[in-house]
Amino acid sequence: MRIVFVGAVESSKIALEALIKAGRPPALVITLPPEAAGRHSDFVDLGNLALAAGSAVHHTTDINALETLEAVTAVAPDLTLVIGWSQVCRRPFREIARVGTAGFHPAALPRLRGRGVIPWTILRGEEKTGSTLFWLDDGVDSGPILLQRQFPVDPDETARSLYTKHTENLAQMIVEAAAQVEAGNAARAEQNQAEASYCAKRTAEDGLIDWRQSAASILRLIRAVGAPYPGAFTFYNGQKIRIDAAVPVENSRRFIGLTGQIQAITERGFIVLCGDAECIEATSWEWAPERRPPIHAKLGGTAA
């Protein structure tokens, strides 16, 4: 069976490696050129991996460009897999593959269609999610479901832990889906459109911490937008501080101060007062001076 594979991020590499390991290297791999790496915070160059597996490589920034359509047509694929590509694949591209074009979505479709799904899953306090392979159509994440695996979301889930669960599922599901397509028994379960929900795009700026929020909300934001995403951040004297990990503080109401003010320096980091008079302790952070900001410093605002 001839496969065309499209992707340019960390999950793309995991899926491509799984196909190669299963003895199903794609005939063609379509990916971003290295100079377009800035499009994704988790960009991965698939070129060398693909070439080493004997796959042809086509670099493009436009999946619907004529030269891209010609490259796919020349391969005469049975199946196209789009894993980690943010651009909409229009019908002329999707219909080249004999069986169809399938994509991956890190949610239990039809819930949480759209963008920024892993952060939104945590921010919304979802208790269950799923990994979904589905057939692309004219809508947004609305095509028939090929495979889906549902699983619980842990109360302390981070973007990285949730991302890992999805990619572990993906590595197994993509091989299973390819085998089903080859056997001619791949599912096409229609989604219940009435149950659909939609996630709006998130940008790096959306990680700005509003210290007026509750400690629980701020901790959730830190967990939701961390690696492999740009992270939660604040400012001190116009200098950006990215907070990668934090924990709640027991008996934190013993600290009396201003919202966003550093109340204490600890062995692990520093304690900040939040809008509900509860505190969080930052335990992992990145700041240009490479030290803790001073006690009683006021965090917040934007760059100077």
Span 263-277, mean pLDDT? 97
Give tens-digit pLDDT for 210-259: 999 999 999 999 999 999 899 999 999 999 999 999 999 999 999 999 99
User: Tell me, what's the pLDDT at 283?
Assistant: 97
Helix (H/G/I), strand (E/B), else coil: 246: strand
Q: What is the mean pLDDT of the chain?
A: 95
Residue 9 DSSP one-character state? B
- Per-residue pLDDT at 37 exceeds 80: no
Q: Please enumerate in sequence order all residues whose Cβ is within 8 A of that of 74, keeping only pairs 6 or more positions apart, or say none.
A: none
- Per-residue pLDDT at 303 exceeds 80: no
| CA atoms within 13 Å, Cβ hemisphere of 130 | 14
User: Tell me, what's the pLDDT at 42?
Assistant: 75
Give tens-digit pLDDT for 67-91: 999 999 999 999 999 999 988 999 9
User: Tell me, what's the pLDDT at 86?
Assistant: 84
User: Tell me, what's the pLDDT at 41?
Assistant: 67
User: Tell me, what's the pLDDT at 3?
Assistant: 98
Give tens-digit pLDDT for 163-177: 999 999 999 999 999
- Per-residue pLDDT at 113 exceeds 70: yes
Q: Please enumerate in sequence order all residues whose Cβ is within 8 A of that of 295, keeping only pairs 6 or more positions apart, or say none.
A: 262, 263, 264, 265, 270
Using pLDDT thresholds of 50, 70 and 90, give the confidence band for residue 40.
confident
- Per-residue pLDDT at 197 exceeds 80: yes
CATH entry 3.10.25.10 includes domain 204-298:
yes
- Per-residue pLDDT at 152 exceeds 90: yes
User: Tell me, what's the pLDDT at 289?
Assistant: 85
Using pLDDT thresholds of 50, 70 and 90, give the confidence band for residue 43.
confident
Using pLDDT thresholds of 50, 70 and 90, give the confidence band for residue 291.
confident
Span 272-292, mean pLDDT? 94
pLDDT higher at 304 or 295? 295
- Per-residue pLDDT at 104 exceeds 60: yes
C-alpha 148/C-alpha 30 separation (Å) is: 25
User: Tell me, what's the pLDDT at 100?
Assistant: 97
Domain ranges of the chain: 3-199, 204-298
- Per-residue pLDDT at 154 exceeds 90: yes
Q: Looking at the domain covering 3-199, what would its CATH class be? A: alpha beta
User: Tell me, what's the pLDDT at 34?
Assistant: 87
CB-based burial label for 300 (10 Å; 0-12, 13-18, 19+): middle
Using pLDDT thresholds of 50, 70 and 90, give the confidence band for residue 157.
very high
Using pLDDT thresholds of 50, 70 and 90, give the confidence band for residue 304.
low
pLDDT higher at 45 or 132? 132
- Fold match flag (3-199 vs 204-298): no
C-alpha 218/C-alpha 156 separation (Å) is: 13
- Lowest model confidence (mean pLDDT) among 17-21, 24-28, 41-45, 293-297: 41-45
